[in-house]
Amino acid sequence: MERTLVLLKPDVLERGIIGEIVTRFERVGAKLIGLKLLASAKDTASLHYTDDLAKRRGEKVRELMIEMLTSGPIVAIVLEGIEMVEIARKMVGTTEPKSAAPGTIRGDYAHVSFKHADGKGIGVFNLIHASGSAEEAKAEINVWFKPEELVNHQPAYTKFTLRE
């Protein structure tokens, strides 16, 4: 069993497509164990977009991503399932929406390019974040959720795939 963090960014809430995206995860059998609507403080967004991002993509990109994440309400979700990090990443699609394959969340609901975002001097509004590894997921879940906010349960639909 593996857990992952998914963030529905402000552009998802602006467009009113929260339910459509959550439904996609439910349809593949992901178990929802944490869910909350919140307005991210800059400090929290800074913990999420770590210095590691700045090392990989530059401090300016990190600052733009923090600004984007704090520009409106977000939905933080913890999913659990078999190889859930990889499954969620595959469902989300590539980081640049215009390059994301049809059938992925970004491919079906967004079309923004890095070039467009760079030209506007803004972060890429690409709808959603999904943890990149199990280690990253664990750290990110700890940024957004307290342990007591995660609900351990066994939905009937998981009895065939998620038996302990």
Tokens linked to 64: 């733009």
Name the nearest CA neighbour of 3 among 32, 27, 23, 24: 32
Counting Cα atoms < 13 Å in the Cβ hemisphere of 90 gives 7
Torsion sign over Cα 21, 43, 51, 61: positive
- Catalytically active residues, by annotation: 129
